[in-house]
Structure 1
Amino acid sequence: MRLGVDLQSVSRFRGIALHRIRRILFTERELAEAEGLAVDRLVERLAGRFSAKEATCKVLGRGFGQGVRWRDIEILADRFGAPEVRLSGGAHARAHEAGLTRFQLSLTHQADFVVAVAIAEEACPAPQDTRQATTPHPQGERP
């Protein structure tokens, strides 16, 4: 299992959420889900989606620009409103390469902050080595 966490200040994200750069960060479907929200709620929602993308990227073990683009990770609401991850492009390729399946997300908002936690299962985890690990000892000392 792999875990990624991200913390985002909603107020610091405000300029990005209201600027045209948001079209680089978010897919049309992500923006459509936020359409019609009051400005404060729109900023909070996009900050949460941004944080979820960051947490997911950490699970993938890559930074943005390292084979993963912002819109390769799409965060949409399921039929109950819970966030879901959809991968494409470099993010999908990286997940496949790493053997990652079943991504899950959790988002929470409190005051001016949003926290995102992402996890993914590893399809075939490496077998556990049952041999006892040996620890090097300082020179001249024996256990």
Structure 2
Amino acid sequence: MNDHQHKLRLSLYTTFVLAALVILFDFILPGRVVNDEIIDVKRERQQYFNAARNYHYSYKVITSEHQFSVAENFAQLVQDHEKIEYSVSRIFKEVNWYRLLSSENNSFYSLRILSGLVLPLLTIISILVAYLYKKNIGILVFVLQVLLVADLIFLMT
């Protein structure tokens, strides 16, 4: 690999590591904590268009300020007009965790953990392994970079 390709690869890796760090810090750093009242819990049937015609339900909590996805077991505990506390991230304005005021345990939506923690960490680790240890995992790094770009688009919309 010539010097120009090496510098290009290093700058590309640096860009993706910085983007992953922004996503990671947005998830880890404490955001703005909101105490609000639950207006409604919306249950939506998600249909798969395959031969088996499978489906599942997704749940959203609606408050006066936000609307966010929650796990099924949390949605089944919630009653209308119950008080909820949740944290909104500083950069992407995503809900990082939520809990009922009557509970002491924070809950996390699994997609938020995947997009805010797991994917950025995997991207950073794979880039560091590829660059520092000269491992030939270019396809894995490329796939994770594409997923990170998709994650950024998802978080910005």
- TM-score (structure 2 length as normaliser): 0.22
- TM-score (structure 1 length as normaliser): 0.23
Report the structure, 1 or 2, having the larger helix content.
Answer: 2
Higher relative contact order (CA closer than 8 Å, sequence separation 6+):
1
